[in-house]
């Protein structure tokens, strides 16, 4: 049975199902695998965080925070990041399935 929450709307109670919460992306194992794939791609090319940051037009701390999973990449940043590394973003997205 789905738990319910009674929420007053203009003085009238309404029943709203509580479905649950989504896991935070940045703490998921799949996201960690994706970030490790990006990091491995960088290292396989002999590129430092500083090198990648320069190519991205960002400070090296941007790359560092992503690789330490202190900062999450949005979709646009992910595609640019992959393009800069010369990897196919679709390949990385397969890890998230």
d(CA 69, CA 27): 8
- What confidence tens digit (pLDDT) does each residue in 48-65 have? 999 999 999 999 999 999
- Model confidence at 97, in pLDDT bands (50, 70, 90)? confident
Integer CA distances (angstroms), 59 to 16, 42, 52, 88, 97, in order: 45, 16, 9, 23, 31
> How large is the average pLDDT for residues 75-95?
96
Instruction: Give me the residue spans of the domains in the chain.
Output: 21-96
Reduced to 3 states, what is the DSSP secondary structure of residue 6? strand
The two tokens of residue 25 are 């992306």
CATH architecture assigned to 21-96: Orthogonal Bundle (1.10)
Beta carbons of 56 and 63 less than 8 angstroms apart: yes
Side-chain-side CA neighbours of residue 67 (13 Å): 18
């Amino acid at each position: 049975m789905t738990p319910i929450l009674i929420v007053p709307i203009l003085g009238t109670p309404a029943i709203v199902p509580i479905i649950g919460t989504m896991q935070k992306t940045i703490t998921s194992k799949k996201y960690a695998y994706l970030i490790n794939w990006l990091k491995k791609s960088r290292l396989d090319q002999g590129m430092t965080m500083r090198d990648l940051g320069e190519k991205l037009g960002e400070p090296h701390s941007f790359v560092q925070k992503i690789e330490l999973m202190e900062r999450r990449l949005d979709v646009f940043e992910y595609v640019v990041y992959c393009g800069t590394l010369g990897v196919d973003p679709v390949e990385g997205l397969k890890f998230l399935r």
